Amino acid sequence: MYAIIGASGNTGSVVTGRLLAHGEEVRVIGRDPSRLERFIEKGAEAMAADVGDAAALTRAFTGAKAVYLMIPPNPSSPNVREDQERVSDALVAAVQNAGAEYAVVLSSVGADKPDRTGPVVGLHNLEQKLNGVAALQAVYLRAGYFMENLLPQVGVIQNFGVVGGPLRSDLKVAMIATRDIGVAAAEALLKLEFTGKQARELLGQRHLTYQEVASIIGHAIGKPDLGYMQLGPAQLKPALTQMGMSSNMADLLLEMSEALNSGYMAPLEPRSAQNTTPTSIETFVAEQIVPRFTGKAAGA
Ligand SMILES: NC(=O)c1ccc[n+]([C@@H]2O[C@H](COP(=O)([O-])OP(=O)(O)OC[C@H]3O[C@@H](n4cnc5c(N)ncnc54)[C@H](OP(=O)(O)O)[C@@H]3O)[C@@H](O)[C@H]2O)c1
């Protein structure tokens, strides 16, 4: 049996769908059972548990041979890093108490660094804490920058006529569609071939600059001159807090952006067949961005 944290989310839903399609026994975990309904209909067992509740997580992991772990984003928290530590403590305690043998863990490029990477420090610490569980076999999927981070750009383009953000316009970023992470995680869970503790980078289909992304979006929406504008912290922080982020989360994102811009936070591996995944930015834009302009997006 597999237990899946974040089963209703971007990556967890793909992991769950693929395991169920293979006829596997799956326990899906989330705060809101109604969001897990679609998996129950396909044979999954649902369990409500908060990721900060070690006892509830222990019950949810009991009987699972392998677990899919993540620290769910909590962008409105006034102290994101403290929350991350509380969650990673609970996840690790539950893995230990339930005696799970295998874990596939959603981590990030930059999780090799112990500091100055904003929210990614929480993923570094999660890896470190899991390294202390001797009996566990774990693979840390160090994913690149999610293409889903581009979705708020729809509003930015509609309001300001540009793509805007904190990253340098010429910075090559490994951008990945979350479904590719879900597919890789499901494959790792189905095979269970990893031993010890391993980090594996997932770098998307190719590296891209925001300038290139703006041009690709522009061509797809009939604005071929669409450009990218790098914004400084003074412009960005109010915009991020207006979107519902806490001031603390906005500061962490700006710290992470600085780490990316300076090259401190970057993939460790050269691009290879093993860390390259299939979904291109053109496909992501056609499927996820264009429908949001035409009002035809699922759930938009
Ligand atoms: N954005 C990036 O570029 C990037 C890059 C690399 C790594 N990451 C990492 O990726 C992770 C996010 O992955 P994702 O996009 O797949 O997540 P997601 O779509 O945001 O989903 C989060 C899931 O967690 C559940 N959840 C939220 N709070 C919970 C709680 N307190 N207790 C139990 N369940 C809870 C949610 O379900 P309910 O709401 O139903 O409870 C949801 O299913 C984060 O750790 C992030 O640091 C992000």
Q: How far is the CA of 182 from the centre of ligand 1 (A)?
A: 12
HSE toward the beta carbon, residue 192, CA cutoff 13 A = 15
In ligand 1, the atom with minimum distance to the C-alpha of 148 is: 1
Q: How far is the CA of 106 from the centre of ligand 1 (A)?
A: 9
Rounded Cα distance, 121 and 58, in Å: 25
From first to last of its 300 residues, the chain has per-residue pLDDT tens of 999 999 999 999 999 999 999 999 999 999 998 999 999 999 999 999 999 999 999 999 999 999 999 999 999 999 999 999 999 999 999 999 999 999 999 999 999 999 999 999 999 999 999 999 999 999 999 999 999 999 999 999 999 999 999 999 999 999 999 999 999 999 999 999 999 999 999 999 999 999 999 999 999 999 999 999 999 999 999 999 999 999 999 999 999 999 999 999 999 999 999 999 999 999 999 999 999 998 876 654
The DSSP element (H or E) to which 141 belongs, if any, is strand 137-143
Helix (H, G, I), strand (E, B) or coil at 195: coil
For residue range 58-108, list pLDDT tens digits in order.
Answer: 999 999 999 999 999 999 999 999 999 999 999 999 999 999 999 999 999
Q: Which of 130, 171, 180 lies closest to 14 in space, CA to CA?
A: 180
Q: How far is the CA of 72 from the centre of ligand 1 (A)?
A: 3
- Nearest protein CA to atom 2 of ligand 1, as residue: 146
What sign does the dihedral 236-144-92-28 (CA atoms) show? positive
In ligand 1, the atom with minimum distance to the C-alpha of 36 is: 40
Rounded Cα distance, 261 and 64, in Å: 41
- Nearest protein CA to atom 27 of ligand 1, as residue: 72
Q: Annotate 273-298 with b (16+ C-beta within 10 A) or e (fewer).
A: eebbbebbbeebbeebbbebbeeeee
For residue range 228-247, list pLDDT tens digits in order.
Answer: 999 999 999 999 999 999 99
Q: How far is the CA of 28 from the centre of ligand 1 (A)?
A: 14
CB atoms within 10 A of CB 45: 16
Neighbour-count burial of 30, counting CB atoms closer than 10 A to its CB (0-12 exposed, 13-18 middle, 19+ buried): buried
Q: Which of 142, 146, 257 is the pocket-test mutation for ligand 1 (most atoms within 8 Å of CB)?
A: 146
- Nearest protein CA to atom 35 of ligand 1, as residue: 30
CB atoms within 10 A of CB 21: 10
